[in-house]
Copies of this chain bind each other. A is one copy, B any other.
Amino acid sequence: MVTLYHHPLCAQSRFVRLLLAEYGIEPQLIEENTYERRREFLALDPAGQTPVLIDPPDLVVPGAGAIAEYFDETRGQGLGKHRLLPDDPTARVEVRRLVDWFNRKFFDEVTSFLVTEKVLKRYMSREQGGGAPDTDLVRAARSNIRTHIRYIGYLAGRRKWLAGSSLSHADLAAAAQLSCVDFLGDVPWDENEPAKVWYARMKSRPSFRPLLADTLPGLTAAPVYADLDF
């Protein structure tokens, strides 16, 4: 059984959870608070970041990008015409461009600020960087997301899925980031109809269901979060 070290509000972990579910794989989930810098976790992957996947018996695959490429290489053909990374190298460039866009750019400009300031800092000790949220960073993230929502709407208005005519890693990466922000109620859904329609399709997929059941102690998801008709 595949094991995944993750955190419920780690967007890159959510990307991998969606990916595994699209492959029909249900992983054993181990929740990891990376700010604790747990010795056993650092021994698995010195970078100390979630997600880290263990493919039995003992292959350690760290990082959302490496995990996605590894599953495509070892099991991608098995998905047939539903393969999540296209066969054509040119089309793969577009998928990888967008995966990078969401896993890095969207994360750095939006998700990381919101999740760290509004959630993680509650659970962290002072030495770990905990404390009151920096409201300037929260405000910056809420401003930055508006550009990203427009860009998702732009893509979704011109293509069936974000990177082209098939569901791909790009849709999973975008939906994973958005789902974290949506948990916190910070997605301005009214601002872009095509983006909202695309996300509603993603949210209705069976692969999405486990994410919608996520909880954190002392934290309630925004009312829209698990609503398929948000």
Contact = CB atoms under 8 A, between A and B. Distances in A.
Interface of A: 45-47, 59-63, 65-66, 69-70, 73-74, 89-90, 92-93, 96-97, 100-101, 105, 151
Main secondary structure of the interface of A (DSSP, over half): helix
A187 B62 CA distance: 27
Contact of A97 (B63, B73, B89, B100): B63
Contact of A59 (B66, B93, B96): B93
Contact of A100 (B66, B93, B101): B66
Q: How many identical chains are in the complex?
A: 2
Given A90-B59, A105-B47, A65 B96 contact: yes
Contacts of A101: 47
B97 A62 contact: yes
A118 to B, nearest CB: 22
Contacts of A90: 59
Contact of A70 (B47, B62, B63, B93): B93
A96 B63 CA distance: 9
Nearest to A64: B100
A119 B136 CA distance: 28
A97 B66 contact: yes
